Amino acid sequence: MAKADSNDSPQSSAQVAREVARLILTGVWREGTTLPREIELASRFDVSRASIREALSLLKAKGLIVSRQKAGTHVRSRIDWNMLDEELLNWTLSELPTQEFAQQLLEIRRIVEPEACAICAVRGSDEDFARIERAYRGMDAAGLDRLAYAEPDLQFHRGILIATGNDFLIAFGATVAAALRMSFNLSTQNPGAPRKSLPYHRAVLDAIWARNPDRARQAMIKLMDLTEQNIILALSRQRKKDAEEDNARTRRAR
Amino acid sequence: MAKADSNDSPQSSAQVAREVARLILTGVWREGTTLPREIELASRFDVSRASIREALSLLKAKGLIVSRQKAGTHVRSRIDWNMLDEELLNWTLSELPTQEFAQQLLEIRRIVEPEACAICAVRGSDEDFARIERAYRGMDAAGLDRLAYAEPDLQFHRGILIATGNDFLIAFGATVAAALRMSFNLSTQNPGAPRKSLPYHRAVLDAIWARNPDRARQAMIKLMDLTEQNIILALSRQRKKDAEEDNARTRRAR
DNA sequence: TGAAAAAATATGTCTGACATAATAACTCTT
DNA sequence: AAGAGTTATTATGTCAGACATATTTTTTCA
């Protein structure tokens, strides 16, 4: 219920935006729903109409809602939501971290990242590669510290996308960031998982330095395979744990 | 200078957002630049500070800018821009339709759409396929009318993405929409091009109905090849035309 | 019955004020 | 003169109430 988010943003308009987004993402306000009028939202959230409008402006930009004079503000259909937006991804991750969401995230990473990696191997500059290698070293240095491992891990993947020089692949970094965040959250169920991925990252790095696109692609595919296994394992352990807790609650209730 | 856009949006805040986005995208306000203060922007665009704030709120949501109290509003670095956002794509398309942009767009479509097509063939429902087929029929019915061809063409590609059931692939529809819009703009240089793509779409449709992922992937790759050829041809013709106009201007100036 | 006119209403915009947080300036001490 | 602590300063953040505008809904009248 609480923020449970590393983000600060004490801005009231940002908080409103997040809360409205939550209501939409969790389906309380379904597609096509007309939102309450601005003045009603203002009184409900106890902020001014101006803040409400700024919040809605943010959500409009992400494709969640659309508004017309007199007609009101409506929730747009899902296909118009810009799910590749970083904030939207993070909100979904903290509100509805379903298995389906995890699988979809894996699926698209598997489509994009191996190809990006191949392009990176061909087109990246030595400076690009050096930056990726620095990230690799950071991961190595982190040892078994999951938190310290996370940041260079993201830099590693981002570095590959950046090296492609393709603005759209670079923008895909937001999606990768969300996926890694999810993996990090799940790694409580499997603390050793991050470290195990290190040699796979090494293989990617070597293939890139060798400027061998096919090897780079294959190495990235293997890394994706490992990631998928780890996530499936973590999810099943979590489900098991949740079920046990459920049982315990049921017993207590009797 | 004028709007030159099919979009209506007479909203002043939307206009301001677009203009500020233009200044950022075209590099007038580079990465790291501090924007003028809100009251200055308000007087420059001759709107109230509230409208400025709503406009900036929109751009914040797209990752273009970030603002902190007292410190001001800054242009974020390019890697934070959400280039997969539909509006941002359309703005870039109308302000900076460079060859590089076109190639990047082609590159990412080539990565995503063939795989999406393969997934669609496996996972799509018959209703999904029927919707895609309706789009195909619409394209056929449009004949040589480029404008009438454009809408069902988009529905065809969107239909495939939707049929995958993957929210991220669905969100990628915004990028495809921008790419098709670009193709449409360029097709003045090559009016027959759209119609020529019809049999390639047919091949995709057949492969999907056959639920054959490999054939579907291959058919989509061929469609991408054709699209690429058309765009390269159109771009070279346009460059040639632009050069001739330039010559003409120079001669007149003498 | 149906088209034109009037009313109602939710978003869009403007104004001016105050709150807040981060920076810049200025103390004062050592 | 250097540095730590305090006090302005300033740009964004928020609030309040009013009016403008565009649709929809209702009413009126031919």
Q: Considering only the top CATH level, what class is A97-248?
A: mainly alpha
Domain range list for chain A = 12-80, 97-248
Chain B residues within 8 A of A86 when measuring between CB atoms: 63, 82
Question: pLDDT tens-digit profile of A173-202?
Answer: 999 999 999 999 999 988 988 899 999 999
Nearest to B224 by CA among B200, B203, B205, B193: B200
Distance D28 C1' – A72 CA (angstroms): 28
CB contact under 8 A, A158 and B60: no
**Dihedral angle of Cα B120, B123, B126, B128, to the nearest 10 degrees:** -50
- C1' of C21 to CA of A48 (Å): 20
List, for residues B50-108, the tens digit of each pLDDT value.
999 999 999 999 999 999 999 999 999 999 999 999 999 999 999 999 999 999 999 99
Q: Which nucleotides of C are covered by protein (CB under 7 A)?
A: 8-17, 19-23
Region of A163 please: left (phi>0), alpha (psi -120 to 50) or beta.
alpha
> Any long-range contacts for B59-63 (C-beta under 8 Å, 24+ apart)?
B59/A61, B59/B17, B59/B20, B59/B21, B59/B24, B60/A58, B60/A61, B61/A57, B61/A58, B61/A59, B61/A60, B61/A61, B61/A62, B61/A85, B61/A87, B62/A61, B62/B21, B62/B87, B62/B88, B63/A86
Choose the closest CB to B171 out of A60, A84, A168: A84
Chain B environment of A25 (Cβ under 8 Å): none
Helix (H, G, I), strand (E, B) or coil at B68: strand
* Residue range A12-80, CATH number: 1.10.10.10
Residue at token pair 């991750």: A93
Residue B34, beta-bridge partner list: B74
- The tokens of B211 are what? 């639920």
Token pair in block for residue B55: 């406009």
* Total length of chain A: 254
Q: How confident is the model at residue B243 (pLDDT cuts 50, 70, 90)?
A: confident
Q: Give the tens place of pLDDT for each residue, A77-106.
A: 999 999 999 999 999 999 999 999 999 999
B188 touches chain A (CB under 8 A): no
- CA-nearest residue of chain B to A50? B50
Q: Is residue B3 over pLDDT 60?
A: no
Answer whether A12-80 and A97-248 agree in fold. Answer: no
- Number of Cβ within a 10 Å radius of residue A49: 14
**Which residue among B86, B169, B174 places its CB closest to the CB of A108?**
B169
